[in-house]
A and B are shown apart, each in its own frame.
Chain A
Amino acid sequence: MDTAVADSLDPLIAELRSRGFAVVGPTVRDRAIRFAEITGAAELPAGQGDEQDPGHYRVVERDDELMFGFAASPDSAKRYTQPPRQALFRMREGTVEEAEQEAPRVALLGVRACDLAAIAVQDRVFLGRHPDPAYRKRREALFLVAVNCAVPGGTCFCVSMGTGPKATAGFDLALTELTEPHRFLVETGSERGADVLAGIPHRPASAADVAAAEEVSRVAATRMGREVDTENIQESLAAAHDSPRWAEVAGRCLACTNCTMACPTCFCTTVEDATDFTGSLAERTEVWDSCFTLAYSEVGGSPVRGSGPARYRQWLTHKFSTWYDQFGVSGCVGCGRCITWCPTGIDVTEELRCIR
């Protein structure tokens, strides 16, 4: 892996744009730090940070000028790898026409290590036994610029899940934001990445630059807001199906589905059907779904998981236990989104402690 130093992100953004990528990066909107298309580094949230706790999120002013001084945003890369709504096909009489598989050339700037791990998890879901060509196309069109976390949030636990805070694979370029003077250490993770780096002003990284970046990741790893003991987690959760804690946590869960929508690995979908007014043209659309709904498990007029405890158990057990059986990895990458965005502040790390 080559390392270099760049002083500004403007040339990188311009270079990516000139290669036909829409550059999507963090911006402050809706009182949150959210992904949106940007045209220059001035649109990045310099000096803005976030405060994240169970059921709590605020954008706050920082006392420095860090452009990436915040943790996971409510948006994740899932929005781009697996859009919330995907047209599948149209059928008229005897002809089936697949939907145009849109794969916009997007460069995601500011992807975190946990999000890269989540994309790797999604690859296992969508490129497994019945590979999805539309996913593959979107995935190949994505250019990933990771940013190593300097300021983890109060709900982060990537260290426990072995996914962060430093990006080690799965990116085209990875940045570490350094201060005094403000600059970025740039690592290349792919040929595409190296090619882009070659097109922008940079200089070789000095030993001091590399050491400073290592220090950023070392310190970040000590600042995890949360922690999970993953020892034996798959077996112990599978054996905990009758824990009294399921009923306790379900008493606080609204089954609002926020956690599953915010989670970067939750992949469940359902389908919607529509016809034109003559009824001869039918269209199908795949949309995000959640195991917290009753319709999700309906069989023969009633849901398999009719009770709240059963639905919460399905979610947590899937993420931290049966995902290993199905995909050989954890379904949780420790990003903390489900904790932050739960309106009643349910904390998976605490539930795991109580259940196991």
Chain B
Amino acid sequence: MHPMTPAPYRVSSRRVDRADTVTLTLRPMGGPCPPFRPGQFTMIYAPGVGEIPVSISGRARAGGYAQTIRAVGAVSRALCQTRRGDVVGVRGPYGTAWDVQAAAGLDVVVAAGGLGLAALRPVIRELAAHGSRYGRISLIVGTRTPATLIYHRELARWRDVHGIDVQVTVDHPDHAWKGPVGLVTRLLDRIVFEPRRTFAFVCGPEAMMRAVADDLVRRGVAAGRVLLSVERNMKCGVGRCGHCQLGPLFTCLDGPVLSYARAAGLLAVPEL
């Protein structure tokens, strides 16, 4: 099959997370879903509109990929507007994964900015399911306003049932907000981890990821133990369109998940 040919998937459920964000469950119309590793993405095609990379945020209980999409432009809007039963195209999964196993025995910091939480969800679910394999587990989340926070119920469950230290900060509080305000890096002071024995997973806007990663490294976390997920324009996902290049890397093949040891120098070059 041609690497650009998608398989038809049906939207088997649709959950509205927020005004502009929905989580779709996508199930292949023939055969089972190919396996995925946490951090990988698929290229989702809205027929006639276009195709975009979207992280897999989990395997749905009834089978299929759960994918959380925010409407920001033509394609993401078309996907958010699909209804149960609609057909979309899916290619993948593609790309590198969050190496959760590498965090075994270590304290774990998961840092999410905005929708970055969707790409980190498979990591958090793994940590929650096998908490005893890891040291202290913290999840810090930065979001624009209290209303833009996604996965409320799961955040509560991760905290209350699985004992993960979940902290949320907002840029712009509303009247009811009693939690922290400001950058997600501030939350690093509010969680407990032993830097020399810590592994971190970071996903969000690039500036946020660099700020968190720099802060962690300054505190003594090894750059090779800080993973982040880099976002670049992607038209193919398979190393043929060229768009996703970051210096020597194809973000779709060599990323999106990169260690900060590899990414720091590249991301530090403006407009690379």
Bound pair (A, B): yes
Interface size class, chain A: 35 or more
- Which of B233, B241, B271 is in CB contact (< 8 Å) with A298? B233
Is A296 in contact with B1, judged by CB distance below 8 angstroms?
A: no
CA distance A131 to B89 in the complex (A): 20
Smallest Cβ distance from A308 to chain B, in angstroms?
A: 10
Is B235 in contact with A304, judged by CB distance below 8 angstroms?
A: no
| Chain B 1-49 residues near chain A, CB threshold 8 A | 1-8, 10, 29, 45, 47-49
Is B271 in contact with A130, judged by CB distance below 8 angstroms?
A: no
Smallest Cβ distance from B193 to chain A, in angstroms?
A: 30
Among the stretches B124-132, B149-157, B173-181, B246-254, the one at the interface with A is B246-254
> Mask for A284-302, Cβ within 8 A of B = 1, else 0?
1010010100001111110
Is B233 in contact with A289, judged by CB distance below 8 angstroms?
A: no
- Which of A94, A273, A305, A314 is in CB contact (< 8 Å) with B29? A94
Interface centre among A128, A130, A305, A321, by most chain B C-beta atoms within 10 angstroms, is A130
- Which of A130, A310, A317 is in CB contact (< 8 Å) with B239? A130
- Which B residues touch A128, using CB under 8 A? 239
Smallest Cβ distance from B195 to chain A, in angstroms?
A: 31
- Which A residues touch B2, using CB under 8 A? 88-89, 98, 101, 132-134
Known A88-B2, A299-B231; contact A129-B242, beta-carbon cutoff 8 A: no
SS class of chain A's interface: helix, strand, loop or mixed? mixed
Is B241 in contact with A269, judged by CB distance below 8 angstroms?
A: yes
- Which A residues touch B8, using CB under 8 A? 91, 94-96
CA distance A94 to B29 in the complex (A): 8
Known A130-B240, A298-B233; contact A88-B4, beta-carbon cutoff 8 A: yes
- Which of B231, B235, B272 is in CB contact (< 8 Å) with A270? B235
| Chain A 236-276 residues near chain B, CB threshold 8 A | 238, 241-242, 267-271, 273-275
A93 located at the interface, meaning its Cβ lies under 8 Å from any Cβ of chain B in the complex: yes
> Mask for B229-272, Cβ within 8 A of A = 1, else 0?
00111011011111101011110010000000000000001111
Is A89 in contact with B5, judged by CB distance below 8 angstroms?
A: yes
Is A271 in contact with B235, judged by CB distance below 8 angstroms?
A: yes
Is B271 in contact with A306, judged by CB distance below 8 angstroms?
A: yes
Known A271-B50, A297-B233, A300-B72; contact A318-B4, beta-carbon cutoff 8 A: no
Is A314 in contact with B6, judged by CB distance below 8 angstroms?
A: no
A126 located at the interface, meaning its Cβ lies under 8 Å from any Cβ of chain B in the complex: yes
Is B7 in contact with A129, judged by CB distance below 8 angstroms?
A: no
Is B245 in contact with A269, judged by CB distance below 8 angstroms?
A: no
Residue of B nearest to A290 (CB): B242
A282 located at the interface, meaning its Cβ lies under 8 Å from any Cβ of chain B in the complex: yes
A30 located at the interface, meaning its Cβ lies under 8 Å from any Cβ of chain B in the complex: no
Smallest Cβ distance from B28 to chain A, in angstroms?
A: 11
Is B5 in contact with A291, judged by CB distance below 8 angstroms?
A: no
Known A91-B47, A98-B2, A307-B271; contact A296-B238, beta-carbon cutoff 8 A: no
Residue of B nearest to A276 (CB): B48
Is B235 in contact with A126, judged by CB distance below 8 angstroms?
A: no
Is A129 in contact with B239, judged by CB distance below 8 angstroms?
A: yes
A279 located at the interface, meaning its Cβ lies under 8 Å from any Cβ of chain B in the complex: yes
Residue of B nearest to A260 (CB): B242
Is A94 in contact with B243, judged by CB distance below 8 angstroms?
A: no
Known A299-B232, A310-B271, A326-B248; contact A98-B1, beta-carbon cutoff 8 A: yes
Interface centre among B8, B248, B253, B271, by most chain A C-beta atoms within 10 angstroms, is B271
Is B243 in contact with A326, judged by CB distance below 8 angstroms?
A: no
Residue of A nearest to B269 (CB): A241
- Which A residues touch B250, using CB under 8 A? 326
Is B243 in contact with A271, judged by CB distance below 8 angstroms?
A: no
Known A269-B240, A270-B243, A304-B233; contact A325-B248, beta-carbon cutoff 8 A: yes
Smallest Cβ distance from B199 to chain A, in angstroms?
A: 27
A3 located at the interface, meaning its Cβ lies under 8 Å from any Cβ of chain B in the complex: no
- Which A residues touch B272, using CB under 8 A? 241, 304, 310, 314
B107 located at the interface, meaning its Cβ lies under 8 Å from any Cβ of chain A in the complex: no
Can you report 6 residue pairs joining A to B where beta carbons are below 8 Å apart? A96-B8, A273-B48, A289-B235, A304-B272, A305-B271, A322-B247
B residues with a Cβ closer than 8 A to A are 1-8, 10, 29, 45, 47-51, 72-73, 87, 89, 231-233, 235-236, 238-243, 245, 247-250, 253, 269-272
- Starting from the known contacts A268-B241, A270-B243, 5 additional A-B residue pairs (CB-CB under 8 Å) come to A89-B5, A94-B8, A94-B10, A269-B235, A304-B271
